[in-house]
């Protein structure tokens, strides 16, 4: 899908471990998480749309989203990374993309996917940046237009990853988790608060989210930063 209104942008990702050092232990752990998510797919419930969120800020959910998008794309899947954090978007910075138009425009204007989805230097990986910050993110995500958009994106890509705000802070991740095939919760050691993580789990359960697992990271071992996947 070609982008028209963000043309001429530089698309080199910034400091993603899965690109700068594919043989590192962390990159290998991301590939393990990819495999676990793939095994979560069944004939009756294929995981093609995925929310990545956290309980609170600073836990690395956006970095996790971007690296997961890269490892899935490296496996030959057509991947779209959507910056659905309409309050504090970062994906356009990670991939050095312009953010004149994006996700919010698809939800509130007559822009089409061809107008706003941008390619990256990573084969098979496209990005839908957040677009201008709207005054009513939760209302946009709750709209019938959002339901329609999920169906359209699901049909156009092998995997769509939605990078969402922290679930305890705002309702956005709750709303989207009720619309997608699966949800991953990112937890960072030394940042996450146990009570907030437990509340995040309860909030997701309230909307019948399919919580595939928890990505726990921030621990240190002898060689690199540890990433651990816990299935639910």
Q: Above 60 in pLDDT, residue 163?
A: yes
Q: Which residue has the higher pLDDT, 60 or 222?
A: 60
- The pLDDT value recorded for residue 118 is 96
Residue 226 backbone dihedrals phi, psi, to 5 degrees = -85, 140
Q: Above 90 in pLDDT, residue 220?
A: no
- Domain boundaries in the chain? 25-231
As assigned by CATH, the class of the 25-231 domain is alpha beta
Placement of tokens 């019948």 in the chain: 208
- The pLDDT value recorded for residue 72 is 97
Q: Which residue has the higher pLDDT, 100 or 10?
A: 100
Report percent pLDDT > 90 for the chain. Answer: 72
Give, as one character, the DSSP assignment of residue 203.
H
Q: Worst-scoring range by mean pLDDT, 8-12, 55-59, 150-154? A: 8-12
State pLDDT tens for residues 99-120.
Answer: 999 999 999 988 899 889 999 9
Q: Please report how many Cα atoms fall inside a 13 Å half-sphere around the Cα of residue 105, on the Cβ side.
A: 19
pTM of the predicted model as reported, rounded to 2 decimal places: 0.90
Confidence class of residue 219 from pLDDT cuts 50, 70 and 90? low
Q: Any alpha helices (H) in the chain, and if so which ranges?
A: 17-20, 25-40, 61-74, 91-94, 103-108, 113-116, 137-141, 144-156, 172-177, 194-206
Q: Above 90 in pLDDT, residue 90?
A: yes
Q: Worst-scoring range by mean pLDDT, 89-93, 192-196, 197-201, 219-223? A: 219-223
Q: Distance between CA atoms of 170 and 103, rounded to whole angstroms?
A: 18
């Amino acid at each position: 899908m070609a982008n028209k209104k963000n043309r001429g942008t530089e698309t080199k990702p910034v400091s993603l471990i899965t690109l700068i050092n594919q043989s590192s232990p962390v990159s290998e752990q991301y590939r393990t998480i990819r495999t676990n998510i793939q095994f979560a797919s069944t004939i009756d419930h294929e995981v093609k749309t995925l929310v990545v969120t956290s309980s609170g800020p600073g836990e690395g959910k956006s970095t996790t989203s971007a690296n997961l998008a890269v490892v899935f794309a490296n496996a030959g899947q057509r991947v779209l990374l959507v910056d659905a954090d309409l309050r504090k978007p970062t994906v356009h910075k990670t991939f050095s993309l312009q953010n004149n138009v994006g996700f919010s425009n698809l939800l509130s204007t007559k822009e089409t996917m061809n107008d706003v989805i941008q390619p990256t230097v990573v084969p098979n990986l496209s990005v839908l940046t957040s677009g201008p910050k709207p005054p009513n993110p939760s209302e946009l995500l709750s709209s019938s237009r959002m339901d329609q958009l999920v169906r359209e994106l699901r049909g156009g890509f092998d995997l769509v990853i939605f990078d969402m705000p922290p679930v305890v802070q705002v309702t956005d991740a709750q709303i989207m988790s009720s619309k997608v095939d699966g949800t991953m919760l990112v937890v960072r050691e030394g940042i996450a608060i146990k009570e907030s993580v437990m509340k995040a789990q309860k909030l997701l359960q309230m909307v019948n989210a399919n919580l595939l697992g928890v990505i726990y990271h921030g621990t240190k071992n002898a060689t690199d930063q540890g990433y651990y996947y816990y299935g639910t």
